[in-house]
Structure 1
Amino acid sequence: MGKAVFVHKPMAFTKLSVKRQKAHLPHDETASAAELDVWTIFRALRDSHTQFGLRPSHMQTLQALLSFLKPGHGEVVFASNAEICRRVGGIDERTLRRHIDRFLALGFITRQDSPNRKRYRVRSSDGQCISYGLSLSPLFERADELLAVAQKLENMRRDCIFIRKQILTKLAHLEETNPDNVFTSTVRKALRRKLSIAEYRSLLSETESEYRLLSTAVDAPKTAFLPANDGQADRHLSKSEKEDKDIETVGNDNKPEVQTLTSVCREATAFAPKGLTTWKDVERHAETLAPMMGIHASTFDKAKIAIGPQKASCAIFIMLQLGKRIRNFGAYFHSITLGKRVHQFDPIVLLQRLANIENATA
């Protein structure tokens, strides 16, 4: 007696097409464009299923229902619940009923019950037919809606990636200027989460504001005029190199009078427990203010070595006077004392600007 052989029939993925209503078609579309692959509609709903409160298991059930449709046999599924459960992958019938009820509530399926609740089709002699079962025609009628929702989500996904790359580029520039910037580490932690398009745009706006901080008028490089010939170019280059060396040599001597500093920078002076009459008083007070402004003590010590304790102290006083015009004190302090634009920091010029602004508004 021979052994019985059981043949497993794979799930059928027959390519079907549905007729779209002409009202939805642009005027320049041909009649053949009215046909749309049902699996295109399925993929559109699959990609946007969360928008309708559906889970992946719901989509597996819908995929099985679509696989029962055959070309030329309408849009009604006649298979029994038991057969549908087998094709889904062995789910229980209660789960199947819950899934079907969900699609019914969303308006993607309609139920056409026979008197005995069996699913079948009957035809008359003149070709008329009555179908009892699960009709998927509502799903196909909403093809335009589903395709539009899926396209909108795809556009948002691409925009999120684009904005995220912009943020990462700005963060890289910020970290080159100040590797210890607290702002950049905070943003990178936020980027680890799945963010909405509004949250990405908000982060980009904050990052751009932080980036513009390093390109303020205080730090902006002076405009250089190109000479007319090569000889002038050589002289200009030699002169620029000499000026840079001179700045590095006498930079620590470029400081204002203590009285000028304290009279203009009243915000910092107001925090002093006693009068500031000498540079030692100013330096001690700056060391106290720096941590309160988010500037690490080690960063302040490096700045004192790089540009001198008096200029570093001036930077603290001037920044506190600028107040809200500086978004991140730590990054700003690093840029004018240890960053690429350190030689452009001139306390005397900045104090004069602040004094002029106060006189103009007085």
Structure 2
Amino acid sequence: MTVTHISTPFGGRSMTLAMAARQIDVAEKAANQDHSEPLDKWDLFRLICEARILVGVSDRSLTVLNALLTFYPGKELVEDQGMIVFPSNKQLSLRSNGMASATLRRHLAALIKQGLIIRHDSPNGKRYQRKGSYGQEDATFGFSLQPLLARATEFANMVYHIRAEKAALKTTREQLTLVRRDIAKMIEMALEEGLELGQGASWGELHDQFRDLVVRIPRKADILELKPLLKEFEALRDLVNKSLENHLNSEQSSANESQSERHYHNSKPNIYFESEPASKKEVEGKSEVNQDRMKPKVRSYPLGMVLQACPQVSIYSTGGQIRHWVDLIQTTDTIRTMFGISPHAYEAAIEAMGQEQVAIVIACMLERSDKIVSPGGYLRVLTEKALDHDFSVGPMLMALMRTNLEHQKNGVGVA
């Protein structure tokens, strides 16, 4: 067992058990660590600065430590070269930006208390280096920097945990921002459209719940405070998303029932026993029925909802922003040419669905472009379904919104 030499302070300064424990701890760490490769003293100092809170020192104390390091010759800390620096208070004060003597002594005591340096006092309390008869170093009295080298791994681990915690906090804040944005925009859209929530509830109540959560977010919060809040926001977002999905599914179901009823009435054939051709009035009546089939009634969706479901379309717009429906229509027309959709197929889709609906469809196709082999053929199929009243862009939008939400939950970036 190696006996550790414990250095005691000069004069009226008392020795404490904590000081002795620190010196023994440093000696044990130095004995157990391999310092065959020297460490850059300034790299080590930067680690200590980054871990300052965990180390337990102030920025002014680090100013004094910085000054002490300037008295160590060379850039690298090497244990076998002696690690004691012995500046006078005057020189140390000058390199500490002119720090007052009383303040200097206080911060030196703080560095000693936190185990960053060890005091090696001479018999008379002065700091100096005594040479032998042949000029070799005989004894040095001052401040030992050995704890810095002995605790290098400890400081590196502190910085690793600090950086990991900061990264986790940043990720949590980003997720919280995205969830808040999703909830705010979806509730705003629902209120503007006058959608009904059902079951005796209202979108205004959901908005109040949202505001109650927002005011609970502290200005300076750690990850332990934000994690539970994030879960509550995600639960509210899922509720809002589910409510919108139920509303769109209800509309689609109502439209299908209406269409089925219309097909039922039209399925009864009109049998004419007369051999004469139909009158002009009858022909015009049939023509009006065909025109009604060619132009089905469509429902417009809020632009904000479309952009939330199809974020990639903004990349192709002028200036990278879409503010109005005109911007979306012009942008999707450009995407249409990029997809190779013929003008005839494009015009037929507009005739069947309307220009805004076609713009939404093309924006949705852009989000799923990696899965659509023939954009032109895909649009023609949707056009035929629209003519038969068997297509709505609502499910497409909701499916994309669900996909984006899942990507955000799983930490996958949405372009």
TM-score with structure 1 setting the length: 0.52
Corresponding residue of 1:65: 68
Q: Which whole-Å CA distance do the structure 1 matches of 2:124 and 2:210 have between them?
A: 67
**What's 1:47 paired with?**
50
The 1:183–1:120 alpha-carbon spacing in structure 2 relative to 1, beyond 3 Å, is: farther
Letter in 2 for 1:151: Y
Paired residue type of 1:59 = L
The CA deviation string for residues 9-58 of structure 1, in whole angstroms up to 9 with x for no partner, is xxxxxxxxxxx969556xxxxx97x2221111111111111123321111
2:86–2:141 contact (8 Å) kept in structure 1: yes
Alignment of 1:206-285 (within 5 A): 206-216=232-242, 219-220=245-246, 222=249, 233-240=382-389
Q: CA deviation at 1:231?
A: 7.1
Shift of 1:182: 3.8
Which stretches in structure 2 are left out of the alignment for 5+ residues?
1-28, 189-203, 254-376, 399-415
Q: Specify whether residues 183 and 229 from structure 1 end up closer, same or farther in structure 2 by C-alpha distance, changes over 3 A only.
A: closer
CA contact (8 A) 2:386 2:392 kept: no
User: Amino acid of the residue matched to residue 178 of structure 1?
Assistant: I
SS across alignment from 1:116: coil
Q: After the TM superposition, which residues 1-362 of structure 1 pair with which residues of structure 2 at under 5 Å, given as runs?
A: 24=33, 34-71=37-74, 74-125=82-133, 127=136, 129-179=138-188, 181-186=207-212, 188-189=214-215, 193-216=219-242, 219-220=245-246, 222=249, 233-240=382-389
SS of the equivalent of 2:241 reads coil
Equivalent-residue separation in structure 2 for 1:35 and 1:78 (angstroms): 21
Equivalent pair of 2:129/2:137 in contact (CA under 8 Å): no
Contact 2:217 2:229 in 1 (8 A): no
Change in 2 beyond 3 A, CA 1:164/1:229: closer
Whole-angstrom CA distance in 1 between matches of 2:229 and 2:43: 35
Partner of 1:289: none
Change (3 A) 1:93 1:190: farther
- Name the SS of the counterpart of 1:178 in structure 2: helix
Identity percentage over the alignment? 25
Matches of 1:120 and 1:69 in 2, distance apart?
14
**Structure 1 residue matching 2:103: 3-state secondary structure:** helix
1:183, CA displacement in angstroms? 4.6
One-letter amino acid of the counterpart of residue 175, structure 1: A
CA deviations over 1:159-215 (Å, ceiling 9, x no partner) = 211211111111111111124734544555555612112122222212111111123
Q: State the alpha-carbon separation in 1 of the partners of residues 108 and 58 from structure 2.
A: 13
1:104 is displaced (CA, Å) by: 1.1
CA–CA separation in structure 1 for the residues paired with 2:126 and 2:149: 24
- Does structure 1 retain, via aligned residues, the 8 Å contact 2:120–2:141? yes
Provide closer, same or farther for how the CA distance between residues 186 and 55 of structure 1 changes in structure 2, counting only shifts above 3 A.
farther
CA shift in 2, pair 1:81/1:240, >3 Å: farther
The secondary structure found in structure 2 opposite 1:70 is: coil
In structure 1, the gaps of 5 or more residues are 1-19, 26-30, 245-339, 342-362
Gap change, CA 1:166 and 1:86, over 3 Å in 2? same
Instruction: Tell me the distance in 1 between the aligned counterparts of 2:224 and 2:102.
Output: 40
Q: Does the C-alpha gap of structure 1 residues 243 and 166 become closer, same or farther in structure 2, counting only changes over 3 Å?
A: closer
Say which SS state the counterpart of residue 50 (structure 1) adopts. helix
Instruction: Write the letter of the residue equivalent to 2:234.
Output: E
Q: Distance in 1 between matches of 2:392 and 2:382?
A: 15
